[in-house]
Amino acid sequence: MKLRTFLTTAVAAAAALTLGLPTAMAQGKYKSEYRMSLVLGTAFPWGKGGEIWADKVRERTNGRINIKLYPGVSLVQGDQTREFSALRQGVIDMAVGSTLNWSPQIKELNLFALPFLMPDYAAADALTQGEPGKRLFERLEKAGVVPLAWGENGYREISNSKHPIKSPADLKGLKIRVVGSPLFLDTFTALGANPTQMSWADAQPAMASGAVDGQENPVAVYTAAKLQSVGQKYMTMWGYINDPLIFVVNKDIWNSWTKEDQAIVRQAALDSAKEQVAISRKGMIEADKPLLKELTTHGVTVTQLSPAEREAFVKATRPVYDKWKQQVGADLVNAAEKAIAARKQ
Ligand code: X2X
């Protein structure tokens, strides 16, 4: 640095300090490293999204904001339902988190777990990119975090180790691992199954030992986690819910950044989320669905439902939908139903 530039900078910094101007220099609060929480690591579309975001931010801020990934929700000892509280409290600086895992704290996020609300990807987009998504971000801001962009874990399909599932009767008595909020217990109870709540970390050994018979997760999660190797031999494509992800920053961390850096982090989140959604849908949106083909080569029996067969699941879970519509907020659910009805296909 030339002497003159140095002096100008030093004077500016001193002035900023005394005047309390919100410049990075005046704040001097940047951490050498920020902690990003993720449930799934970079072998999955979810973790890839976090990695892309971290890389873009590091590059575009010339290393001013340096992010380390913590997959396996390791900052909350693997308990994904505590992630949102930890984010609020500052144990976590930023995250790409699932609406399902945060719904115990933010009941409106149960919207996405209402059974059979979103019939296709266009419907999921109508919610996240439309009015309902805007309202949910406002709700999250009120809860004290800074949401920036919507990603996607994906449509959750059901698998099990016993037999193909074609009707609610096939679920009878099956022990199914579920996540998140009590809504899942209601859904699977209504279908005649025996749901049990546990973290992702506990779920895999439980499948391997046969302590649970089944689970529900996107196909991309199933394949990357190789769930066929823990006995999950049967998968039914029922698309009952889609699980969006949210790119988010802790509020104090956000406020410690300059306006310029805030804009960079926001734009990087939007760009990364777009890439992440594309990665997450890869193999599922092409006509021949290569990801499903891959499953069959691993010996997995993939069951497709006829419209009438699917309708039986919709009917069986309708009372749960109606009950939880009130819990989520009838206004928000009505807005969601409206956005879906008006979607472009
Ligand atoms: O635990 C799950 O099933 C997972 C990985 O999909 C979520 O975190 C919602």
Q: What is the pLDDT of residue 32?
A: 97
Judged against a pLDDT cut of 50, whether residue 115 lies above it is answered with yes
296 Cα: distance to centroid of ligand 1 (angstroms) = 23
pLDDT in tens, 24-54: 444 558 999 999 999 999 999 999 999 999 9
Judged against a pLDDT cut of 80, whether residue 180 lies above it is answered with no
Q: What is the pLDDT of residue 151?
A: 98
**What whole-number distance in Å separates Cα of residue 221 and Cα of residue 245?**
14
Report the nearest-CA residue for atom 2 of ligand 1.
200
Task: Please give the share of the chain, as a percent, with pLDDT higher than 70.
Answer: 92
Mean pLDDT in residue range 132-153? 98
What is the third-level CATH fold of 157-241+285-340?
A: D-Maltodextrin-Binding Protein; domain 2 (3.40.190)
**pLDDT grade, residue 22 (50/70/90)?**
very low
Judged against a pLDDT cut of 80, whether residue 195 lies above it is answered with yes
**What whole-number distance in Å separates Cα of residue 122 and Cα of residue 345?**
6
pLDDT in tens, 3-20: 454 444 444 444 444 444
Q: What is the pLDDT of residue 27?
A: 55
Q: What is the pLDDT of residue 3?
A: 46
- Do 157-241+285-340 and 29-153+244-281 fall under one CATH topology? yes
| b/e per residue 130-158 (b: at least 16 CB within 10 A) | bebbebbbebbeebebbbbbbbbbbbbbb
Superfamily per CATH, domain 29-153+244-281: Bacterial extracellular solute-binding protein, family 7 (3.40.190.170)
Q: Which atom of ligand 1 is nearest to the CA of 200?
A: 1
Q: Nearest 10 degrees: CA dihedral of 342, 271, 112, 300?
A: 110
| b/e per residue 202-237 (b: at least 16 CB within 10 A) | bbbebbeeeebbbbbbbbbbbbbbebbebbbbbbbb
Report the nearest-CA residue for atom 6 of ligand 1.
217
179 Cα: distance to centroid of ligand 1 (angstroms) = 7
Ligand 1, pocket-test mutation among 39, 84, 221, 222, most atoms within 8 A of CB: 39
**pLDDT grade, residue 251 (50/70/90)?**
very high
Domain edges within the chain = 29-153+244-281, 157-241+285-340
Mean pLDDT in residue range 312-337? 98
Report pTM. Answer: 0.92
Judged against a pLDDT cut of 70, whether residue 143 lies above it is answered with yes
pLDDT in tens, 155-178: 999 999 999 999 999 999 999 999
